[in-house]
Every structure is written in C-alpha cells, then in structure tokens.
Structure 1
Amino acid sequence: AAAAATAVATETPPSDDGAVYVPGPFNAEPLDLTEAEFEEMVHAKPLVFINYYAPWCYWSNKLAPDWMAVMKRLHQRAYSQSVVFARIDCTTEKGRVLCQQQAVHAFPSVRIYRGSIHAYEPYEFGREENLLWLHLVKLAAEVVISTLKELPNDDRRPFQEQVSHISQDLKLVMERREQGLDEDWSEDALSAEEEVEEDSGLLKSIDEAVRAITNSKGVRPGELHALGGGDETERTLLEERSSSLVLGLITNERQGVGGDAEQEMLEAMPGANAHEGCVLFGYVDVSRAPGTLHVAPHSARHSFDFSKVNVSHHIDHLSFGLELPAKARTRLPAEVQAKLLGLDGREFAALETHQTLEHHVNVMPTSFRAGSSVSSPIETYQFTSTSHSRTKDALPSLIVSYDVSPIQVRITATHQPLSEFLINLCAIVGGAFAIFGILDAVVFEGGNIVKKKMGIGKQF
C-alpha cells in the first residue's frame, strides 16, 4: 500500500519544523492494488479521489487528459501528502477484481473515499480540468483542516505548508468562480454566487489567518516591499505566515462539527456491498394506449460492461391510476382488491448474464358505485400480469409493457331494504300458499273424478 501511494506522487516528507515541500518524480501510472492494499491506502489518507476506468471506453479516454493534468497540478502541492488523486484500470488482473469488489459497472466511475472503502461519495460534477481542480481543492481544505482539529498542537507543524498551499489554491479557484469562470453545467452544480456563499466561511477564516499572522509579526502585507524582495518576497512571506496563522487559528477551535455527526455525513452511501442497486419511485403520465416502461442504465459520460449489469429487482408497489386511500380500497369487492396490487411485494431475479426481465400487464379500467349512492363512483384500474425473461447480447433492462383495455367494467353494489325484503317474503309465502292450494284442488278434483269413474264401472 505504501508503494501504491507513491504511484500518485513521490514526495519528500515534511520535517517536524514544517520544512519546504519538495515533490519527487511524477508517476502517472494507474494504481495496481489488491483490495487489502486499497483499503490500507484509504485508511491512511484523509481523502482518496479515484477514477475507475477502462481503456476501451470512449468516455474514459475523453476524461484522461483532464485527469492527468489535475494529477500533475496536485503533485506540486504540499497537500498531495494528504490527498490521493489517482486512476485504477478495471481491465488489469488486480484492477478487475478490485472493481468487482467495489461494484463498479460503468466507466469512468469517479468516487471519493474518506477513510472507508465501504462508504464513498460519487463525483457528479463537471469533468473538465478546472472543475475537477475546483472540487479537489475544496475537498482537500475540508479534510486537512478537519484532520488538524483532531491533532494535538505539537503534531500540527508538519501540516503548515499543506495549509498554506490550500489557502492559496482555494482563493484562486473561488476568485475564478466570482469572475464567472469554470462554469459547471451538471445537474447538481451550484451557481457561482451559491458556491462562493457556501465557501465564504472557510475563505473568511483563511483571510483572517493571513492578516493575523502578518500583523503579529509586525509587518503588514503592503509594507513587505520595503524588505527588498519585491513581489516574490511578499508572496513567500505570506505563504509562510498564512500557514502558521491557520494553525494558530485552529488551536482554540476544538468545538464544532465532529465525531459522530461528521461520521454520519461521511457514511451516507454504502455502495460496495452485495445488494447494491437503485431505488426508483415516481409517477408517469401515459395515454390510454399500449406502452412500455423501460428501465435501463444510461449515462452521457459512462460506458457499461453489459455482462455486469443485473436487473434483479423487488417491486414494493406498482399501480395504475390515482392512488386510492386505504378506506376507499376497503369498499371495493374482494376480487377487485386482489387485482389492484398484483405485483406488490414480489421479487424477480436475473440468474444469467445479459438477462432482461419483462412484465406484461393487462389493465382494465374499473368503476365501482355503492348502490344508489349519490356520491361519485370509485375509479380505479385492475390489472393482471405475466412475467418472463429473455437473454441476448445487449444491455439488460427491466421492461413493464402495458395494454389498457378499451372496455370499462362498471360494478354497482346494491343493498335490499328491510321493507322490500318483507314484501318479497310475503309474496313468496303467498305464492307458496297459492301453489299448494292449486295442487290441493287438482289432487282433490282428480280424486273425485277417479272415484266417479270407478263407481260407474261397478254398475255394469
């Protein structure tokens, strides 16, 4: 792991008195690590910025020049001792195993680790050089100062030059943002005003640090030219004194966000586990015509390894039409209720590579009215479904195809009033008496006729 860390930047370690940082030879080769070595590196560095890529991927190759430029810029900065900014080739022997263990299926995947390989933040901002550098500097400022807050005073001096370089770089990138440069058009990006406002607290602390250290030395920034060194002397003294000042400023700032609260924020995305996946929730407006709901991974900046995409899924809820309240559902007949949520709670597994899972749904519009009620009928949609899978050499996906019937089922539940029941009962009883009376009369008259015929026969 130690050798792997030097693959990013080999530098001269700082001495205890905060000696000047001297970068070693630049090594642009991707990391070639086992999972154990990768985990050791992540635990050793406060911030690890990793680009998982594949040489055959168009988007990986497009990102490569910008990524390399940022690696070179970081290599010249002292805080490269606390930050890893590197690449991992997912097609090499070790890289393939590591990418599988980290559940990397799309390239390039850029992830940010802060002390744990099981918790990461996906990088979802612009991938041009200046935008990568902007976010890298901001993250480096957060993690380095956070690290210093946890260290005893005597252990902070080796970080002086790191803080100095971060101070300079953070000011420069924020000045560019204030000027409207390095605009990020990604969905989650902040505007220039929002970004400057978000980082105003950190910038203010650094500015106060620089002013305080120069004043404490009895020299103001505007007076540095009198020392005979011109702009270079001013820049050097400000660098040295700003780092000392930030360390002094941090000494008494032991309270703030820390410990458990900070750890909870960092462990927001447990992605590298056996059940990694997406949670989909929402509504789709469709016309009453056959259609398809198609769920598949797509990205304007990634290429996917089709053999690693698995569309196994669990359906928590799927329904058509407006969601009915529980009270309204209970008023529906049992056979209708059973066909409203036919796929809820069911699991479907893709057991082969390149396997697409499909559900075909037949939807039946249904209207239910309770008797002669003047209230509006309950409008809903019953459906039946059949599920199957198919395999072909293409991007696996989840397909829900639906067909809405042009015929609507209308159900009316009627309840017989007691008076009508009694009238019907009386009618039934009366009818029974009438029938039995008729039968009795028929039997009686029939018997009399038989007797008469029998009497006539005896006279002969």
Structure 2
Amino acid sequence: MFSSNKIKSVDFYRKIPRDLTEASLSGAGLSIIAALAMMFLFGMELNDYMKVSTSTSVVVDKSTDGEFLRIEFNISFPALSCEFASVDVSDVLGTNRLNITKTIRKFSIDAFLNPTGSEFHPGPLPKDIKHGDEVDEGHGEGCVSLTSDNFDRYAHQYPVMAVNFYAPWCYWSNRLKPSWEKAAIIMRERYDPEFDGRIIMGKVDCTQEGDLCRRNHIQGYPSIRIFRKGSDVREDHGHHDHESYYGDRDTESLVKTMESLVAPVPLESHKLALEDKSDNKTDSIKRPAPLTGGCRIEGFVRVKKVPGNLVVSARSGAHSFDASQMNMSHVVSHFSFGHKISPKVLKEVKRVTPYLGGSIDRLNGQSYFSRHGDAHANVTIEHYLQVVKTEVITRRPSGGEYKLVEEYEYTAHSSWVQSIYIPVAKFHFELSPMQVLVTENPKSFSHFLTNVCAIIGGIFTVAGILDSLLHNAVRMAKKVELGKNF
C-alpha cells in the first residue's frame, strides 16, 4: 500500500499558499483577454468540427447504375403539330428508334404555349397505308377546288365536307389524286349535291392557298380533313367539328369511309346526328384534327451511355413536308439526365455539397426561336451537350461509406443550321469518360478534444509568459526609479 505522502509526490500541480500569492491589475487584464481568446478559438474549432468536409477528385467513370441513361424533358414547339411530332433516338453503336410513344406524352398548344385541350392520343393507325392503282386519266374532276373565298361557304352548306389538302410536288399527294377524284365522282353520283346535299368532297392546293392551309394547321401533305357540321352551328357561328383521316387511300376505302360519314345524316334535315350509332371500323382510322399548330412534348427516353442524338422532328410514312414551311422553334422547360432526386436525398445532398442541390440543367427555361419567313427560316436547331457524372459518397453514422447520389451535369452549346432538308430539333449528347467524385471526410472527436486542449493550454501558457514578462518589467522600472532617488 502506498502512503498518501508518496502519492502526493507525483502531483504535477503543486499548490502555493494563497498568502504567498499576489494579485495584480495587469494579471487580471491578461486573464480576461486570455479567457475571451479561449472562448473565441473554442467556438471556431467547434464550428469547424460541425462543418461537413469533403474532398473532390476526378476519376475514371466506373458506373454501377447500368449501361442505360435516362433523359427527361419537357419541350414546347409552338409551330409543330402533335399530329406529326416524333421523338427519335440514335447513337454511334447503331441504335435507331423512331417515333417513341410509350414513355412520351403530347399536348396541343397554341402559339403562346397555352394548352388547348387534353392529352393528344395518336390512336391505332395502319402500319402501311394502301394506295390505289388508278392512273390519272384526266377523266374530269369529281371534287370541288376550294379557296379562301369559297371554303367557309361550302363548309356551312354541307353537313359533311371531306377535304384533301395537297401540294402538287408531293409524291404522296400525286398517288392519292386519282383515287380521290374517282371516289369524289362516285360520291357525287350517289349523293347529288343538288338533290341530296349531305356530303361534298373538295381539295385545296396549299402552294396556292397558303393562308387557308395554315389556318387549318396543315403541316404534312396530303392531309385529309373531315369537317362535320355540329348541332351547335347557329350558336357557334357555323362551328364545325373536324377530324383527320389516316386510313387507306385507295378508291374503295375512301368511298366506304365517305359512306359511313353520310349514313347518320338525315336526308330531310341535313343535320348531323348527335351520336353516330353505326358500327363501322373506320373510327379507328380517324381522330380529332389538331385545333392549333403547336405541341408540348414531355416524358423520358432511355439511351445507351455512348454519344448519341435525341431528335424531335415531323415524321410520317405517308406524308410529305415543305421544308420552307417547317419551324422548329422551341422552349425548353426541363431537360436533364438521370433520375430525379427525392426531397429527402436532396436535403442530404445539400448538407454534404451545397453547390449541387440538384443538377445544373443549362437548357432549362431557355427559348430557341427561328423567325419564319426570313434568313432564319428552315433551320435545324442543334444543341451540343457535354455530360459529366458526379457521385457523392457520404458516411453512415455506424461507419462505412454510402453512395448518396449519382447525378449528371452538362454544358450546352446551341447553333442554328440552315439546310435544304426538313428542319429538326437535335440534342446531341456525349458523356465524359471521367466522373467527379465528392467524398465526405469524417472528423475524429478525439482530434477535436486534442485541439481544444491545445487551445486552452497554449493560451494559458502564453498569457502566463506575458504576465511574467510584464510583472518583471514593472518591477525593474520601480528599482531603477528608486535608485535614482538615492
């Protein structure tokens, strides 16, 4: 057993009796300054300990999220009809997917980007449209040539008016012409306009009647529109419900479709019934015609992680397009790579890396317009996107690493390219082979305690040295003064 005296011999902090100590004004001042300095440095050290520390490095991309990348977008085209709007994807490996519809939604909009109806549904259409084998023998015209001057008059006169909007230079228009004329002759013979008056077939040359075609939002040739006088004609100043026809274009199919349109119209009143109760299969090849010429396209596509293109264009297997009339101006509401970050994860991301907080989407909110009718018309708008992946690695409370998020950021450069081909909106993307790795660096509590002790001990020691120097200086000064007096 050790005695108490032996234990006391290892005391590092031997006490001096209070009677032998002397307080001084200078010592009190230094003590107050030292205490304030200790509190200030302790607060700084505590703040640094609580602050998240990260390290950023650039490494080779070793993605673990698969070989496909998700691209989400919301783009408005004020001059591209949903009727022909197509989203295509291609890449350098040979992938070429046309007119993606499964993950894409379309909404008709006007020139001011305002929605004009519910979601646009293309509906089931024939894969290959059948054309007739007739040859234009010049046997006379069975349909009426419509112009801006007589279009409304004919539309208000006949309960059903089928119109072929065409262009003389169009291959598909020329293939339709003989079948359309022959079908018009047959319908004129069966339903004489003077005695029956329930249907009339017409045609509009869009190279001569550009304003009339634009008014009906014609963008592809030929476009077959069916105008049917509604029950609210008087109240709505002659309003007509109209549809687009996408069925076969041979004479037999056209005549059968026209017959189905005439069937529900009473002969004596020339008014369209409120409901078509006839059971025919032509409804599957008709759908409401676009009321406006714009389209908002939103959704996502999955692409391979190689250089590729996402292209929005006007596409149809049985229509032609006038490149000089196409305008691919658009407004990008949203365009991003990868999956959206949940609010919970986003909060944690902001804690670790405040500058991220969601990817930097350079195209969001940007407008790209080509002025129609001048040197900027008939242009393809291209966007070149350089995509870089960022991974954020955080630390679990129990220890160990945890991949918090995989995020994609990109830079964008846009250009307007004039071309003789049908203009498109092209988003060319290329992923960097490198990725940015942001790692949260944990801080040791023992290191924090060591720094706190160093702060307290260091300031206490330095203050003691200063107090001793000051006290000795004052004492020396007093001795010198007493020596002079004697």
TM-score range normalised by the length of the shorter chain: 0.5 to 0.7
Match of 2:91 in 1: none
Distance in 2 between residues matched to 1:326 and 1:54, nearest whole Å: 53
Distance in 1 between residues matched to 2:240 and 2:454, nearest whole Å: 79
Match of 1:31 in 2: 145
Q: Does the alignment pair 1:355 with 2:372? A: no
Match of 1:87 in 2: 203
Match of 1:122 in 2: 244
Change (3 A) 1:157 1:401: closer
SS of 2:186 mapped into structure 1: helix
Cα deviation for residue 370 of structure 1 reads 4.0
Q: Does the alignment pair 1:66 with 2:179? A: yes
Check whether the contact 1:309–1:396 (CA below 8 A) recurs between aligned residues.
yes
Match of 1:401 in 2: 428
Cα deviation for residue 339 of structure 1 reads 3.4
Question: Aligned partner of 1:106: which letter?
Answer: G
Distance in 1 between residues matched to 2:190 and 2:417, nearest whole Å: 53
Question: Aligned partner of 1:100: which letter?
Answer: R
Q: Does the alignment pair 1:291 with 2:318? A: no
Distance in 2 between residues matched to 1:439 and 1:118, nearest whole Å: 98
Q: Does the alignment pair 1:377 with 2:404? A: yes
Cα deviation for residue 403 of structure 1 reads 1.4
Distance in 2 between residues matched to 1:327 and 1:124, nearest whole Å: 48
Check whether the contact 2:188–2:200 (CA below 8 A) recurs between aligned residues.
no
| Post-superposition CA distance 1:306-335 (Å, at most 9, x none) | 111000112222111123334433433343
Percent same amino acid at aligned positions? Answer: 29
Match of 1:428 in 2: 455
Question: Aligned partner of 1:120: which letter?
Answer: H
SS of 1:70 mapped into structure 2: helix
Match of 2:218 in 1: 104
Q: Does the alignment pair 1:339 with 2:359? A: yes
Cα deviation for residue 61 of structure 1 reads 0.5
SS of 1:307 mapped into structure 2: helix
Q: Which of 382, 386, 391 is equivalent to 2:418?
A: 391
| Post-superposition CA distance 1:349-407 (Å, at most 9, x none) | 11221111111112111222443356652222122222222223322110111111112
Distance in 2 between residues matched to 1:123 and 1:419, nearest whole Å: 78
Q: Which of 161, 165, 187 is equivalent to 1:48?
A: 161
Cα deviation for residue 414 of structure 1 reads 5.8
Match of 1:140 in 2: 262
Distance in 2 between residues matched to 1:123 and 1:29, nearest whole Å: 17
SS of 2:302 mapped into structure 1: coil
Cα deviation for residue 75 of structure 1 reads 1.0
Using the size of structure 2 for normalisation, the TM-score is: 0.55
Question: Aligned partner of 1:348: which letter?
Answer: Y
Q: Does the alignment pair 1:308 with 2:422? A: no
Distance in 2 between residues matched to 1:278 and 1:430, nearest whole Å: 72
Check whether the contact 1:39–1:117 (CA below 8 A) recurs between aligned residues.
no
Change (3 A) 1:421 1:30: farther
| Post-superposition CA distance 1:164-213 (Å, at most 9, x none) | xx99xx89xx6xx8xxxxxx9x9x659xxxxxxxxxxxxxxxxxxxxxxx
Higher helix share: 1
Listed as ranges, the gaps of 5+ residues in structure 2 are 1-138, 230-237, 478-486
Distance in 2 between residues matched to 1:122 and 1:133, nearest whole Å: 16
More RCO (CA 8 Å, sep 6+): 2
> Number of residues paired by the alignment?
316
Check whether the contact 2:164–2:225 (CA below 8 A) recurs between aligned residues.
yes
Higher strand share: 2
Superposed, 1:183-222 pairs within 5 Å as 189=285
Distance in 2 between residues matched to 1:106 and 1:286, nearest whole Å: 29
Match of 2:46 in 1: none
Check whether the contact 2:379–2:423 (CA below 8 A) recurs between aligned residues.
yes
